[in-house]
Structure 1
Amino acid sequence: MKINISKAIKQFFPNPSLDLVYFEAIANSLDANATEISLKVNIQSFENSKSLEIEITDNGEGFTNRGFDRFCALLETDSPDNKGLGRLVFLNYFNKVNYDSLSNDSKRTFILDNNFEREFEAKTSLKENGTKLSLNNYKLEGIKTYDYIRAETLAKSIELHFLPRLFLINKSGKEVTITILVNTEIPNTDKNFYSDKRIVSSKKLPKLKSKLFKIEQADLYANFELLYKVEKDYENSNLTIALNADNRTIPISDIISKDNIPQGHNCIFLIQSEYFKGKVGNSRQKLELEKNQFNALKYSIIKEIKTILEVEIPSIIERNKNKKDFLDKKYPHLEGYFNENVAGLVDKNKLLEKAQESFFKDQKETLEATHLTEALYKKSLEVSSRVLTEYILYRNLIIQKLKSTNHNNSESEIHEMIVPMRETLKVKTYFTDLYRNNAWLLDDKFMSYNTILSDQELSKLIDELAIEEEIKQDSSTRPDISIIFNGNPENQKVDLVIVELKKRKAGLHENEKVIGQIQRRARRLLEYYPNKIQRMWFYGIVDIDDDFELYLDSNEYTEIFSVDKAFYKTQKIVYKVSEEKIECPIGITILSFDAFLNDAEKRNETFLNILKESIKTTNKKV
């Protein structure tokens, strides 16, 4: 059998573990109709892994001539239940595997190693039909866990792995006994590791209930049987979900998170069906199904398990409902996309991913439609509501992030959260910049802009207004945020918004500077482009303490409606055009940070509630 063992192992057994050695040897014994199987593990100590030796003896049919021919030809089998690869896993851990076999038509001993070429001796030490495997010369530098060589844990994992098969053997009236014997010279009581003996018997299996069901999306005619046990067990709280396929047990426990089962319960769910026959991968570690088939299988199994759990553990009903309500509240734009049959059991991230995938599918369907039917038109309205809801949720995140700022945050940090500094946002890149421009915090009307200049010199703004004169560029002429909206400066008058920020708790002196900065900005703009500006709004965003509030009252600012403190004043600005002095009134609004954020939050909350109700109403109709 000339093969590259290391390459074959990587290809056929990508995730091997030492327990696969036990499982493969015992499975071969059961395939040979053995009724008594003995597993012996000999090791000097856990630390001395090189001393590990394993011996498996059975009273099966032994190697017949035909069986030996198949053994010598990789991948050659007489049954879809067998893959003809299992022996490779032995050579992943041991340099040598000694075989001693007696059957009705032959007796033979041989050594399986990397150089095996079907040589054997026609002799045996056995008195009755059967096979004995002796695995020695352990290859690896260590053993991953004591569980692989502890009799108690080996018995549990072997029983669990072969539970469906032993269940069927027991059902047929036969009996199989598997004896596990561990011998060690140097025990470790702290790790519960010592010489020990355990027995697994098909007559002493856990009592399993049975439930039949169908999965029409997978196979219209195949029957599926779910064998299960749900019991209170605070010492062995566990969850096991597996398939019985090709006489092998394939764990699929990742489809339901163990954390989603109430503590103090030991749950076993085993699914078997003729549908699985021949669908196991070469390593016998997973099913080989198309994605849509596997998803149909997975969600049907979860649905059946959920039904069982709700009967066996009634408290899980309220628990799962709370989790579903949490998802709907946290992600309202996806309400109706969360699979109610699996919510609360499946990992939250996986459930969210599936819901998002379904949402994107609906978006794609409506956007790519060449003709909108009545049904597709209604769906497009619903999808639009969900997209807008998702955007409003993003807004909430920005508000909460800004609310978490304090006096330790610099002015530039706060500025970056509103509009990225030193950047120019243009209407032609509106959708690209949608999640970077948060001018809506001031007023939603400012989302319809022509240009936003963030922390740019006033000369840049004048350039945007197409003024040819040059002005000196210095930091004192730099507004924090400048917005040109409601018009195109190339052919019509425009509205301007100028925003000044001060860091939190900046103090009276710094806050007073905002008023002066606003007045200078207005004068400069009016002087350079009096005929291009039809209206201007000036905003100052500061922390308004008692001292600054008195300052605003003294300068005839009027308090206006807001969740927190907000003041407004029409300020007369005098500027020169060709030596002529001209008076122009401008509006100045001074907002506290709390007013700035809380007012935006209230508007956001109103939009979100309207959208949520719309989505809920649509879901009820569906």
Structure 2
Amino acid sequence: MRKNPFSDLQGMLNLIKASKNPFSPIVEALNNSLESIFKLDESGDRNITIELCFNDQDENSKQLEFIEITDSGAGFNKESFERFERLLDRSKGFNNRGSGRLQYLHRFGEVSVKSIYRQNEGYYLRKFSSCKDNFIYDDSVSELIDKNNLKTTVTLKQLRNHKKDNTSYSKLKFSSFVSWVKSQFALRAYLELTKGKVFPTINLKFTYQVAESETLTIKPDDFPKPTNSGDFYVNYQESFDDNGEVGWRKPKGFKPEKFSWCVFSFPADDVDIHGAFLCSKDIPVEEVKNSVLKKSNGHLGNKMITAFYGDFLDKPDNVNHSVDSFTIPNKADVKELSNSIFDAEAEVYIDDIIEQANKQLKLIYKEIELAQESAERKVMLLAKELGISSHIAMSVKKIVKLSDNEEIITKNLHIEEAKYIADKSNKARKVIEQLELMDPTATNYQKDLEKKSEELSSLIDAQNKEELSKYVVRRELVAKLLDKILNNDLVAQKKDLSAGKSRRDKEGFIHDLVFKRKSKGNLNDLWILDEEFIYFDSFSDVPLNKIKSESGLFMLKDIPLEEIKKLQLKIAKRPDIFIFADEGKCVLVEFKAADIDLSEHLQQTEKYCTLIANFSTKKIEKFYCYLIGEDFSPFDLPSEYDQTVNGTWLREKIKIIDKTAMRNVIAYGQQELIKLSDIATRAHRRNKSFAEKLGMDTFMD
């Protein structure tokens, strides 16, 4: 038996477009389940189960197989089914427009329904399916002899081949889905409670063909109550001719529309978003853009969602059929004077609603706004300290989050600086690529060359040259400070030792110059060793068992105390500098005072490498070690050390052994011995090269 709707289905699908929200079918099904449940009295079981089933046989991706939504509502009784047959039937109530079911067919090839419902005194099972070609088919009704519980299951199969949809579902994490459901339905859960209705329990489930299922139950009490709430009003407006321009005024006889808002505060890990939304039928439809509200931001351990709602926003004609935007007119669209606009009825405009909503947000998020301003000031101060151009800092300022600490801000500043330089480099590359068109034998060659030189030079504006000058000067100061430390010229090195101190911390001067001890992050002068080091996640004088990767994972495993004692492991040892380089690689730096013989400390870094290689959480197979001081004789070095072209001494292919089992080779290391004076000399040489090009060489000298 086949049925088609009492309107042209394909025509309706062309007229009513797919929602921009790939999860709109789930929203539609959940809303239908809620409305079906709220038709019943309070005595029955009230629950909804949402299951997403994935094919995860490909370890690199997962594909959605089907979505199943089950509820204990009234179900598809005779009246409900007849309404379902008629597209755009508004008789259901709840401010519905009768077009939501089309969102199923926009995204899924088949929709199947099984519904146990009560009609008069009997219980019946109704089954039917739906697709684009046949709106309703394979429908049947059978009476149940035994009394049964009410239960309706809607199954959405065959996700259509839209790249955005496939990506949205394949990358969807269970935790994010839980977050989405909580944030989407927090307002409705609260408003139903104010009406004396018990919100149903929502069971969420992800099932897989390979991995274990993930489940979670959201009980009514799991939805937060508002931490703040309020109302505001928006006047109707009519247009008029204001000296040849479009003007706006409040018409007589129109009462302003009332809007309400609620703020819901979630633990920061419970939701992914932190923002504000205009809602219709108690569900977020459009985001209210506000510079203070960063989507990924939290504040004081919480993320807040503000919902704006009201009868005006609930009107079916004020929301498009796709339920992803409002159809409320915009003043900005009335750009030209015409006779027609002055005959138009007074309207409430979306511009005015958003303007008033933002005024509320400014009050609601005053504390966050102040914290955001503080974070932005921190960006500018750090940029100044690092010698990074203010226009680059302004770019980072726009994206800084409240939770960003100095290390993250510094990293973002360097990243933005690198992007800026890369853009300039690409433009420069295009100029250079044109060199092949030049002819040195041509009479105008010198003029053409000068023109190309000017083009390249123009890519470095005056501000950048000034910032580069600061950058070079700062680096030269660091190199000169190293000279003075080696010569014991610093006043601090000559001060009398305080009472109780028997020796001076000579190594500390060098260590703190390069990278302040007991600190981490990018605020350092590791460039003096290698330019790349300043961009890596690094630690200074931090115990090995306290070092964490950027993801928060400890570098060393949690080693049992008995094993630590048995193997006499020194897990709290502190390398002078530890750097996470590429995957499976790290850098270790040890400084020694100028009067310490380096040849007596050749095994120190190797011990660190052995400990890390044997007990690291993520496998580290390559170690780059630097032993830095001033005093050593090549005569005292083992034969494995060879002199490099830079005059340093390098030992390659140091075998790192598995000390706990088979004693096989599990990693390799290398160690380079470098004199501090050589480092200073190379730093001066690099700085001088920059200074000459900037015309600062005399000043630097």
Larger radius of gyration: 1
- Using the size of structure 1 for normalisation, the TM-score is 0.47
- Using the size of structure 2 for normalisation, the TM-score is 0.42
